[in-house]
Chains A and B, each alone.
Chain A
Amino acid sequence: MSASAVFVLDLKGKVFTEYFKELEEESIQDNFVVVYELLDELMDFGFPQTTDSKILQEYITQKGNKLEVAKTKVPTTVTNAVSWRSEGIKYKKNEVFIDVIESINVLVNANGSVMSSDIVGSIKLKTMLSGMPELRLGLNDRMLFALTGRDKGKSVAMEDVKFHQCVRLSRFESDRTISFIPPDGESELMSYRINTHVKPLIWIESVIEKFSHSRVEIMVKAKGQFKKQSVANNVEIHVPVPSDADSPKFKASTGHAKYVPEKNLVVWSIKSFPGGKEFLMRAHFGLPSVENHELEGRPPITVKFEIPYFTVSGIQVRYMKIIEKSGYQALPWVRYITQSGDYQLRTNS
């Protein structure tokens, strides 16, 4: 059970995070009552009991509202056949929000060749639907197209697909239909990985020249290698500098550069970066005449960005059908985002 043992810690971390947003010493101290309650329900006699934070949240409510009306009922979910959704949920307006989020992991070595790249995608739901709705999601999944004999338009081959426990796996296995009763509120419906060679969306060329005892000169060129119609938002390019560097000077063709001495980084941020454009940033640092004897590693340049209305893999939600006994009309909303994951470019210096 080696994997499981580690999983306990990981899971506790996750549950706590959902309760306190951020897990740190202070938040545990502040919320020790809730922590005790959670541990009590998570484990009994060393055995994991209820580990789904959605369900836990139903009977361990936050401190504030607990004093008003103490819940005196075991949530039905604890005994329900559908353990992830309680009965009797009601909304005035029935809506589903679907977020398709893809993060790109890229590793480029110092010579500029892409060592590895993959896409990790996830489909997140925010469900605001009454009753026990039955949902069906259609994607442009290549396996499905091959199965039905249609092969029109773009399709995507997904690997390593994982579903939330609500998805009926047997149906997916037989006809690739993703059908499920969704958990209420926010949840991750599925995640997948695509192991194809993707062109790095933001390409960085860098020259870092270090003149011992005098200065470091950095030149970074960033190029948007995506469609002209798309725009990357909140681009941050993190360029490492030696720890003993001082007196920074910057010149950037767009955005602005900032020296973060505690992390030994230059952060060049560009609010919006249109596809096909190229920008340049130069930085100049002084070095002390007495050299630092400690060896320093060569951290890679990392890039953060977010491109809305766009998926690298080309995955699309083709339909979302919502069926409920009472027959209400519900609206699905779809949003696509591509963002940087582990995006590293090694440097030569």
Chain B
Amino acid sequence: MPYFGSEEMVKELKRALSNPNVQADRLRYKNYITKVIRYMTQGLDVSALFMDMVKASATVDIAQKKLVYLYMCTYASDKPDLALLAINTLRKDCADPNPMVRGLALRNMCNFRMPGMTEYIEQPIVAGLRDKASYVRRVAVLGCAKMHSLQPNTDIDGTIVNELYALLRDPDPVVVVNCLRALEEILKDEGGVVINKPIAHHLLNRMKDLDSWAQSEVLTFLLRYRPRSDDELFDILSLLDSFLQSAHAHVAVATLRLFLQLASAHPAVQADALLRTSAPLLATCGAASRELRFAGLCHVQQVMRSQPGLFGTHYKRFFCGYSEPTYIKFRKMEILVELVNDENVALVLEELRSYCTDVSPELAQAAIAAIGRIARTYSEKCLDILTGLLALKQDHITSAVIQTFRDLVWFCPQSTAAVCQTVEACVDSPQDSEGKQALLWLLGEHGDQISSAPYVMEGYIDGLKTELSSAVKMELLTASVKMFLCRPRILRGGNVEESDVCVRDRALLCYRLLQRGVEETRKVVTGPKSDPSMSVLTGRQEEPISQWASTFNTLGPLSGRGLCLQTAVISAADQPSSSAEKELLPDDTEEEISLSLGPPLSHETFEKMWLDLEILHRQTLGFPRPRTAPDTLQAALQLVKIQTLAFTPGDTVPWKAYIYTRSTGTLILAELLQGDQQAPGSDESLVVSVKQQPVNQHAIRGFVSILKSVLQTLNVDSS
């Protein structure tokens, strides 16, 4: 956008530039040219000076030439007819004895963006490709790519492509890499430059002549090459070996990526490469540039998905500095959580504890959540810290701690008692809606263990009118119904004249449920109190390297990581087996088994089948039967799609239960037994005997593990 009043200025400059006195004085002349460029950069329209500037290009001063060329490139598309005149000067410069001038002229001529340019530049480019100065060849090679981008729809010129392939053997390393770049651009539609065996080997041998930029680029191109045999593969790897520890992190990381891909069939080689690159990666995490540091951290996280132990001893490198930006601190905390082990847990927790009181509430809350994650393995120490934080009486901290408690109780039920105690002792309540929801959930779910729960809840119900968030209101409704079920007290009904549709519907639902009777409501409202199968997350299993190798050293780990993590969580959550069971059943394949209810069996059919079939599997579960009400047991089993046929009432000895379920085409029948004199080991713990038709061992294993987790959960709840 030309500035107002620029016309005068342009006129004045024009007068000066065409003044022979000025032209005679080199210094003054150049100063005026500089002035033109300065105005051009500031956005003034100085295109009217085009002819005068073209004249100025006839000089021996290279800097002045460069400025004039810059000017020409900027305005060529606005003044195509005048630019054609300039081309003549440029073509003359292309034949200059000084290679520097030849290169400059050629480069700028290729930068003109106007139609019909190709016919003028083609000949100089072809001549430039054969120039004896490598500087000109470099420019000419990229000129081919520019020429192609000027007219993208024309056919690819076979002779130029062949010439470029031939120039891959050029003695100058930059020419070689520029050839690759140009070919990649020109052949984009055909899948880019082809890396065959001779080219790959040639590039590999030239690697050490290239600068670090070119090295990392060539390494990326080499990803396309597949070695024919293992011998060749190992030859390549040993050639590249020294680059794994290159001084430049980006070369090291690019080499690592190539290693991971080439050696995908050799996990030992991959592991070794990862080990050797860990040093440069760690160095990047401590780089002076923050952006580089962030990139390093993201890649460390990616490597840790397969090799969590690799950085274990370096955990101190991930402690946050005071002046680091928040995005780096977040990453570092995520890494610290993953690196925790028995030896460093005390120090890591101490460090995280000091972040909890940071001025930035986001950082403090993230630190608290991180402690919560560690608490799934080291609950005691973490609970102490979290309880200590409550005493600070800072709103954002209290809220974050309560939310962490909620997640903790859900993931590891064994900490419920301790959490409930703390919540009871905590006097002030969170102020933001997230925190309120968490507190209400805790109160509703575990109200039986928090003696003050009804009073706190009443406080919330009284304050309902002033509550703004509908999410909090919904949580409050559900929680109060749950509370009603476990400690029958009179709670006033929810506010039915509520404007928010969701809240009103939830209130009506609760109201009608309660009208149906207590037992009905209980069935609907009480879900599982925790999900022990989620604890798989804490001991997240190592992913195969191939899962992330393809995105390594791309923008993927920097931006799309959240997505990856999400899918990881989902897939982990889908697996019904917990880590404890994996120890018992080491051959348990990770394949998911799903149980289904199917049509109910009659007592007669069940009896007939039970007598006909052989016992396929018998196992002592190692814990007694849950001391819960029969309905609860039945409901819990129903929840995981196991149907209960019959069981002996109350405390009769021996206690028996018959259950059945279906899974991928087989019917599983089972008997739970406790306290029978005949069955060994059954006096203290439950024994499960399984019969099946048709036989499918995998399904049995899955069934037993699901059954176990349900019964264990019930046991924890009732104890």
Contacts and interface: CB of A to CB of B under 8 A. Distances in A.
Contacts of A346: 322, 354
Contacts of B134: 78-79
B289 A10 contact: yes
Contact of A1 (B216, B289, B359): B216
Contacts of A170: 242
A109 B350 contact: yes
Interface in B69-84: 70
Contacts of B213: 4, 48, 51
Interface stretch (A157-165, A205-213, A215-223, A281-289): A157-165
Interface residues of B, number: 77
Given A36-B70, A74-B133, A116-B316, A67 B26 contact: yes
Nearest to B185: A45
A72 B99 CA distance: 9
Nearest to B358: A297
B61 A70 contact: yes
25 contacts: A1-B254, A4-B250, A6-B291, A7-B250, A33-B63, A40-B107, A44-B142, A47-B142, A47-B178, A51-B213, A63-B63, A66-B63, A70-B63, A71-B100, A73-B100, A79-B134, A107-B321, A109-B350, A110-B354, A115-B351, A116-B316, A165-B212, A170-B242, A344-B321, A344-B322
Contacts of A37: 63, 66
A52 B173 CA distance: 14
Interface of B: 26-27, 30, 34, 37-38, 41, 60-63, 66-67, 70, 98-101, 103, 107, 133-135, 138-139, 142, 145-146, 172, 174, 177-178, 181, 208, 211-214, 216-217, 220, 242, 246-247, 249-250, 253-254, 279-280, 282-284, 289, 291-292, 295-296, 298-299, 316-317, 319, 321-322, 347, 350-351, 354, 358-359, 553-558
Nearest to A167: B247
Contact of B292 (A6, A74, A173): A6
Contacts of B30: 67
Interface in A62-91: 63, 66-67, 70-74, 78-79, 83
A9 interface: yes
A66 B100 CA distance: 15
Contact of A74 (B100, B208, B284): B100
Counting from the closest, the 7 A-B pairs by CB-CB distance are: A162-B247, A116-B316, A3-B250, A297-B359, A6-B291, A48-B213, A160-B279
B359 A2 contact: no
A83 B173 CA distance: 10
A169 interface: yes
A107 B332 CA distance: 16
A72 B60 contact: yes
Nearest to B132: A79
A72 B63 CA distance: 11
B193 to A, nearest CB: 14
Interface in A133-164: 159-160, 162-164
Given A37-B63, A48-B213, A110-B354, A32 B26 contact: no
Given A2-B558, A72-B100, A193-B283, A79 B142 contact: no
Contact of B135 (A4, A78, A160, A295): A78
A299 interface: yes
Q: Is the interface of A mostly helix, strand, loop or mixed?
A: mixed
A164 B41 CA distance: 37
A33 B63 CA distance: 8
Given A2-B556, A3-B250, A344-B322, 7 more contacts: A2-B295, A67-B27, A79-B134, A79-B135, A107-B319, A160-B282, A299-B322
A80 to B, nearest CB: 10
A85 to B, nearest CB: 14
A342 interface: yes
Contact of B107 (A36, A44, A51): A44
Q: Is the interface of B mostly helix, strand, loop or mixed?
A: helix
Contact of A70 (B62, B178, B280): B62
Contacts of A276: none
Nearest to A170: B242
Nearest to A46: B181
Interface string A243-280: 00000000000000000000000000000000000000
Nearest to A7: B250
Interface string A23-49: 000000000110011001000110111
Nearest to A11: B213
A296 interface: yes
A124 B199 CA distance: 38
B63 A115 contact: no
B224 to A, nearest CB: 15
B354 A116 contact: no
A9 B250 contact: no
A32 B135 contact: no
A50 interface: yes
A51 B319 CA distance: 34
B283 A160 contact: yes
B292 A3 contact: yes
Contact of B295 (A3, A74, A116, A344): A3
B319 A116 contact: yes
Nearest to B177: A47
B354 A160 contact: no
A72 B62 contact: yes
Interface string A173-196: 100000000000000000101000
Given A1-B553, A3-B284, A40-B66, A74 B242 contact: no
A229 to B, nearest CB: 31
B220 A1 contact: yes
Given A109-B351, A115-B319, A169-B242, A33 B174 contact: no
Contacts of A242: none
A59 B212 CA distance: 21
A163 B284 CA distance: 16
Of A3, A7, A191, A300, the most chain B CB neighbours within 10 A belong to A3
A115 B316 contact: yes
A338 to B, nearest CB: 19
Contacts of B282: 160
Nearest to B559: A2
B565 to A, nearest CB: 18
Contacts of A66: 61, 63
Contacts of A163: 247
A165 to B, nearest CB: 7
Contact of B253 (A3, A5, A300): A3
B316 A296 contact: no
Given A74-B135, A107-B321, A110-B354, A6 B62 contact: no
Contact of A2 (B99, B101, B554): B554
A3 B553 contact: yes
A297 B351 contact: no
Nearest to A70: B61
A50 B208 CA distance: 16
Contact of B172 (A79, A173, A193): A79
A73 B98 contact: yes
A163 B233 CA distance: 28
B354 A6 contact: no
Nearest to A63: B63
B354 A44 contact: no
A40 B37 CA distance: 15
B142 A10 contact: no
B138 A342 contact: no
Interface in A92-129: 107, 109-110, 115-116
B354 A33 contact: no
A45 B37 CA distance: 21
A49 B62 contact: no
Contacts of A70: 60-63
Contacts of A109: 350-351, 354
Contact of B211 (A10, A74, A165, A342): A165
Contacts of B242: 169-170, 173
A3 B294 CA distance: 9
A35 B295 CA distance: 28
Contacts of A159: 279
